[in-house]
Amino acid sequence: DVKVTQSSRYLVKRTGEKVFLECVQDMDHENMFWYRQDPGLGLRLIYFSYDVKMKEKGDIPEGYSVSREKKERFSLILESASTNQTSMYLCASSKRTGWDRNEQFFGPGTRLTVL
């Protein structure tokens, strides 16, 4: 069974704080993704990574950075949190090869509130 875990279900931070969201998957997947989900805007891709130390910008990378030092872990970093980054953050992973490559599996999500 694929398992994707995220470090926190709920997080409250202050404006200007540096925020780390951690995601870990246990199925040796090459690809990992960070999305945010907002009412009326759906799921939007922030960043993705297809290998260790590799990263690609998604549709809304501004204000975010990522780190992938190990295959199983993908971190999302908010360098200076702002109120407009209050959102639900979802991490996903998928494998790169096989008949079911690119089938994405999601973590439980982190509801971040920036005050």
Partner 1 sequence: GIQVEQSPPDLILQEGANSTLRCNFSDSVNNLQWFHQNPWGQLINLFYIPSGTKQNGRLSATTVATERYSLLYISSSQTTDSGVYFCAVSNTGGFKTIFGAGTRLFVKA
Strand 10-13 and strand 110-114: the pairing is: parallel
**97 CB-side CA count, 13 A:** 2
CB of 98 to partner 1, least distance (A): 11
Reading the block at residue 113, the tokens are: 């509130």
> Rounded CA gap, 92 and 105, in Å?
5
Q: Is residue 11 a contact point for partner 1 (CB under 8 A)?
A: no
Q: Is residue 51 a contact point for partner 1 (CB under 8 A)?
A: no
CB of 80 to partner 1, least distance (A): 25
> Rounded CA gap, 112 and 84, in Å?
11
Q: Is residue 60 a contact point for partner 1 (CB under 8 A)?
A: no
Q: In this chain, which stretch among 15-23, 36-44, 61-69, 78-86 interacts with partner 1, using CB under 8 A?
A: 36-44
Q: How many CB atoms lie within 10 A of CB 99?
A: 5
Reading the block at residue 114, the tokens are: 């920036």
If the CB atoms of residues 18 and 27 are measured against partner 1, the closer one turns out to be 27
Query: What does DSSP assign to residue 103?
Result: -
If the CB atoms of residues 28 and 103 are measured against partner 1, the closer one turns out to be 103
Q: List residues binding partner 1 (CB under 8 A).
A: 31, 33, 37, 42-43, 45, 48, 50, 56, 58, 88, 90, 92, 94, 100-106, 108-109, 111
